[in-house]
A and B are shown apart, each in its own frame.
Chain A
Amino acid sequence: MRSLPQPPGEPDSRSADRYLLWLARREWRSLLWASLLLGTYTVGTVLLSASVGAALDAGIGDPRSLLTWFGILTALIAVGTAITPVLHRATCFNWYASAYRTVQVVTRRSVDLGPTLTRRLPSGEVVAVGTEDIDQVAALYEDAVFGAAGIAGTVAAGAFMLTAHTDLGLVVLVAVPLIMLGVVPVLRPLARRQDHQRTRQAELTTRATDLVAGLRVLRGVGGEHAVGERYRAESQYVRAAGVRVGWMDAALSALRELYPGLLLIGIVWYGARLALAGEITVGQLVAFYGYTLNLAAAVRHLMYFTSRYISARVAAGRVVRILGLVHDLPDPDEPAEAPAGLCGLSDPAGGVSAPAGLVTGVVCADPADATATADRLGRYRDGDTLLVDGAGHAVHLRDLPLREVRRRVLVADNTAHLFSGPLREELSPDGGLSEERLAEVVHAAAAEDVVRRSPEGWDAVLTERGREYSGGQQQRLRLARALALDPEILVLVEPASAVDAHSEAAVAERLAAERAGRTTVLLTTSPLLLDRTDRVQFVEGGRVVAEGTHRELLATVPRYAETVLRTAFDEEGP
Chain B
Amino acid sequence: MIPATEDAARLPIASGETVLRRLRRIGRRHGAALTGVVALYGVAALAALVPPWMLGRIVDAVRAGAEPGRVDTAAALVVAALVVHAVFTLLSVALSVRFGEGVLAELREGFVRAVLHLPVGTVERAGTGDLVARAGRDIGHLSHTVRESVPVMVVSGVTVAVFLGAIGVLHPALLLAWVPSAALIWFSTRWYVRRAPDGYLRELNTYSDLTQGVTDTVEGARTLEALGRQDRQVARTDERVRRAYLAERYTLWLRCAWYPNLDFAYMFPVAATLLAGGVLYARDALSAGEVATAVFLAVQLSGPLEHLIDEVDSLMQGYTSLRRLLGVELAEEETGPPAAGGGPPGRVEIEGVRFGYTGAEVLHGIDLVLRPGERLAVVGPSGAGKSTLGKLVAGIHAPDAGTIRVGGADMAALPPRARREKVILLSQESHVFRGTVAENLALALDRTEADPALLWKALAAVGAEEWVRALPEGLDTRVGSGNRDLDPAHVQQLALARVVLADPEVLVLDEATSLMDPRSARRLERSLSGVLSGRTVVAVAHRLHTAHGADRIAVVEEGRVVELGTHAELLARGGSYAALWHAWHGDT
Contact = CB atoms under 8 A, between A and B. Distances in A.
Given A258-B83, A463-B129, A419 B434 contact: no
B91 A250 contact: yes
26 contacts: A4-B245, A48-B270, A67-B275, A111-B217, A114-B225, A123-B218, A206-B482, A208-B112, A208-B135, A215-B116, A216-B120, A220-B424, A221-B420, A224-B117, A226-B446, A227-B433, A253-B89, A261-B51, A276-B66, A286-B296, A417-B220, A468-B5, A471-B514, A498-B428, A526-B518, A568-B526
Interface in B42-71: 44, 48, 50-51, 54-55, 58-59, 61-63, 65-66, 68, 71
Nearest to B358: A455
B82 A117 contact: no
Nearest to B568: A574
Interface in B504-530: 511, 514-515, 517-519, 522, 525-526, 529
A406 B101 contact: no
A289 B296 contact: yes
Given A104-B237, A472-B514, A242 B147 contact: yes
B343 interface: no
Interface size of A as a range: 35 or more
Contacts of B59: 56, 282, 285-286
B406 interface: no
Contacts of B514: 471-472, 497-499
Contacts of B155: 253
A272 B58 CA distance: 6
Given A66-B278, A257-B48, A106 B132 contact: no
B123 A222 contact: no
Contacts of A264: 51
A239 B428 contact: no
Nearest to B236: A421
A455 B4 contact: yes
Nearest 9 A/B pairs, CB to CB: A246-B97, A223-B443, A417-B220, A114-B225, A130-B214, A214-B431, A250-B93, A73-B271, A502-B381
B351 interface: no
Contacts of B86: 254-255, 257-258, 261
Interface residues of B, number: 193
Given A5-B238, A265-B78, A229 B270 contact: no
A209 interface: yes
A115 B515 contact: no
B518 to A, nearest CB: 5
Contact of B227 (A70, A220, A410): A410
B79 interface: yes
Interface in A448-499: 449, 452-455, 460, 463-465, 467-473, 481, 485, 494, 497-499
B328 to A, nearest CB: 10
B198 interface: no
A47 to B, nearest CB: 12
B117 A221 contact: no
A231 B218 contact: no
Contacts of A3: 245
B379 interface: yes
Interface string A494-528: 10011111111110100000000000000001111
A223 to B, nearest CB: 3
B259 A261 contact: no
B136 A528 contact: no
Contacts of A208: 108, 112, 135-136, 139
B548 A570 contact: yes
Contacts of B23: none
A81 B214 contact: no
Contact of B139 (A205, A223, A290): A205
A161 B118 CA distance: 67
Given A221-B499, A290-B299, A429 B232 contact: yes
Contact of B214 (A106, A411, A531, A568): A106
Interface in A92-121: 92, 96, 100, 103-104, 106-108, 110-118
Contacts of B6: 455
B97 A249 contact: yes
Contact of A124 (B104, B226, B482): B482
Interface in A175-217: 201, 204-217
A243 interface: yes
Nearest to A208: B135
A171 interface: no
B85 interface: yes
B390 to A, nearest CB: 11
A551 B585 CA distance: 9
B62 A243 contact: no
B443 A222 contact: yes
A282 B56 CA distance: 10
B382 A217 contact: no
Given A77-B267, A471-B428, 10 more contacts: A52-B292, A88-B255, A92-B252, A209-B135, A231-B112, A286-B292, A290-B296, A417-B216, A499-B542, A570-B549
A378 interface: yes
B544 to A, nearest CB: 5
A77 B379 contact: no
B228 A449 contact: no
Nearest to B520: A367
B113 interface: yes
B381 A205 contact: no
A61 B281 contact: yes
A525 to B, nearest CB: 5
A437 interface: no
Contacts of B5: 468
Interface string B291-311: 110011001100000000000
Contact of B292 (A56, A123, A254, A497): A56
A91 to B, nearest CB: 10
Residue from A104, A221, A247, A455 with most neighbouring chain B CB atoms (10 Å): A221
Contacts of A310: none
Given A470-B428, A497-B514, A569-B526, A268 B55 contact: yes
Contacts of A247: 94, 97
B221 A118 contact: yes
A275 interface: yes
A262 to B, nearest CB: 6
Contact of B274 (A55, A254, A406): A55
Given A208-B108, A500-B379, A502-B380, A574 B583 contact: no
A570 B567 CA distance: 13
Interface in A253-291: 253-255, 257-258, 261-262, 264-265, 268-269, 271-273, 275-277, 282, 285-286, 289-290
Given A210-B433, A217-B495, A501 B123 contact: no
Interface in A228-258: 228-232, 235-236, 238-239, 242-243, 245-247, 249-251, 253-255, 257-258
Given A88-B259, A110-B218, A501 B544 contact: yes
A85 B257 contact: yes
B455 to A, nearest CB: 14
Given A107-B217, A208-B112, A502 B498 contact: no
A559 interface: no
Nearest to A246: B97
A573 interface: yes
Contact of B425 (A220, A407, A465): A220
Interface string A359-403: 000000001000000000010100000000000000000000011
B200 to A, nearest CB: 14
Contact of B248 (A92, A285, A286, A449): A92
A131 B502 CA distance: 39
Nearest to A524: B518
B214 A212 contact: no
